[in-house]
Amino acid sequence: MFQLLLVDDERPVVEGLEEIIPWEELSVSQVHTAFSGQDALNVMKKHAIDIVVTDIQMPGMSGIELIKEIERRSPRTKCILLSGHAEFEYAQQAIQSNVIDYLLKPIRSQTLIESVNRAQELLKQEWEQIGSYERSVQALKENMPLLRENLLKELLHGARIGGEEWERKRQTLDIPFVPGDDCSLVLVRMDELGRLEEEHPSLAEFAIGNIAAEVFSGGFHTWNCKVDHGFLIFVVKPTAAREEEMRQANGEDWIQARKHLLEETASQFQSKAKHYLKCKVSIVIGDWGTFPGGLKVLYRQTLTSLIKYVGDSEDFFLASMEEKRKANSLRGLHEHPTVAHLLEVGNWKQAYEKIGDIFAELNRINVRHREFLMEVYYVIGAAVAMTAHNNGYLLSEVLGDDDYAALMQPSYDSVRAFEALAYRVLNKLEARMIADLEGNRMSVVQKVHAFIEKNLDSDVSLQSISDHVYLHPVYLSKVYKLETGEGLSEYINRIRMEKACHLLKNSRQKIYEIAESLGYQTNYFIRVFKRQYGMTPQEYRRVQI
């Protein structure tokens, strides 16, 4: 679907084109209007306009000047010029300004439709070229590092990618790992960047990554990313040749040889970073696990080792240690998407499912210590409070006395009781927000109706109404249709015609006076009225007498 802008200092011309042309049939989703060149530029700041139809002679900024400015700001926008002059000078300027058509007034509907179709075809061809295979391949190459990094971050956080999808991504992004590979993680924390921090701070990560890739390439395949904590994470596995060499040389002890090789290689990397880049880095080598399902556990264990054994120490090297879990942990509680995120975006269905999964995990690991229930309480309680406050509510207003008291003074003795409370709290918050949403929408409809009633004789375009209610035109159209079942333009036309009928029957106003009171030019009003009722206003009045 396309967005189109009509520009003319003569309001009847703009309104006539807006009403007469069957824009929806031309795949035009929204028609914007402007009555000067500057107005047109203001509209284009707010909307992604595909096609501009503009008069050539307007006060202030001319159509030619407008088109030149459009070319500078939005070079892919197609322009059609309207003029009352069949002069060579105007036509020549239009051609030089890359205008696709130069139409003479008065404009035949079919002529304009053909021009708009031509503009749409040009736009389709250009965008198809942009999305062509060659450009896609080039874009993929340019964005390969970022795509590889984002994919690895997803896997570290537990994303599950199916076999066919994984194979497609592996080949596209040239990933040297396949499901089932034994792999380890190497965490690199940049402690002191030395001269890089002073000269090229933005290149520090890139330079350290290059040193690591070079050092590890002698015996390992690697894949790395930068995680939220600012650390670099490398997934590593031996190359096939090096693994075969270790198997032949060490027999059953080759696993231990692999461990030593990784530690030696990581230590060399640390030394070279310090020597050549004058950087201090701390390194933590994780345990070995299965790719990709084991990455999330390896990642958590490696972070835990950093916190427990390295802390703030700089230039530290920690070899892999098998970290035994001393207590159960509620992994699902903190996995993305979190309860807070789901409530923030209004995804109630998934929020209820998330709550169910959290309490199912509590019951599955059979925790008896009240600390775990306290952990769940603070996560869910904070998410609920944040959502309520962000939407202008106090929980005391939403929950009622009993549930509010239970939430403010929780008991950590019963998992079942707290689960029931969590569901009740979510249910009440959801009901309040949905009720307010529906009320807000109806309030918007009432404001729209009041504005139209007051301004029926002037500007009741979608843009002016949107500006009045402070909503985007597309969103306003959707809300209005959702709440009333009728399109906004349909409503305006119906109200105008109903008021026209009332005035024709019950007043002595002349036809031109009625037309003006409805915001129409007389000739256009007569045409619209006849199209609606099959007779002219004067004929309708005679029938009613």
Each residue's pLDDT tens digit, 178-226: 999 999 999 999 888 766 665 565 577 788 888 888 999 889 999 999 9
pLDDT confidence band for 456 (50 / 70 / 90)? confident
At 38 the pLDDT is 94
Average pLDDT of the segment spanning 507-519: 91
**Encoding tokens for residue 346?**
């209004």
pLDDT surpassing 50 at residue 326: no
pLDDT confidence band for 125 (50 / 70 / 90)? confident
Q: What is the pLDDT of residues 132-167, one digit of tens each?
A: 656 666 766 778 888 999 999 999 988 888 788 899
Please, where in the chain does CATH 3.40.50.2300 lie? 2-130
Please, where in the chain does CATH 3.30.70.270 lie? 143-318
Q: Is 50 helix (H, G, I), strand (E, B) or coil?
A: coil
Amino acid symbol at 177: F
CATH topology of domain 2-130: Rossmann fold (3.40.50)
* pLDDT averaged over every residue in the chain: 85
Q: Which CATH superfamily is domain 143-318 in?
A: Reverse transcriptase/Diguanylate cyclase domain (3.30.70.270)
Distance CA 171, CA 240 (A): 18
| CA quadruple 268, 271, 272, 273: dihedral sign | positive
Q: What is the pLDDT of residues 333-372, one digit of tens each?
A: 877 778 888 888 788 899 999 999 988 888 776 555 677 8
Distance CA 452, CA 504 (A): 20
Average pLDDT of the segment spanning 387-393: 88
> Residue 309 has what DSSP assignment?
I
**Under a CB-based contact definition with an 8 Å cutoff, are residues 43 and 49 in contact?**
yes
pLDDT surpassing 60 at residue 327: no
**Encoding tokens for residue 243?**
């693994």
Does the global pTM surpass 0.75? no
Distance CA 401, CA 403 (A): 6
Most confident of 326-335, 357-366, 443-452: 443-452
At 31 the pLDDT is 92
**Encoding tokens for residue 267?**
């230590």
Q: What is the pLDDT of residues 297-320, one digit of tens each?
A: 899 889 888 888 888 888 888 886
Q: What is the pLDDT of residues 51-97, one digit of tens each?
A: 999 998 889 998 989 999 999 888 889 999 988 765 545 656 666 66
Nearest to 496 by CA among 467, 532, 463: 532
Which backbone phi and psi does 183 adopt, to 5 degrees? -145, 165
At 324 the pLDDT is 46
More confident residue, 80 or 519: 80
Q: Tell me the percentage of the chain whose pLDDT exceeds 90.
A: 35
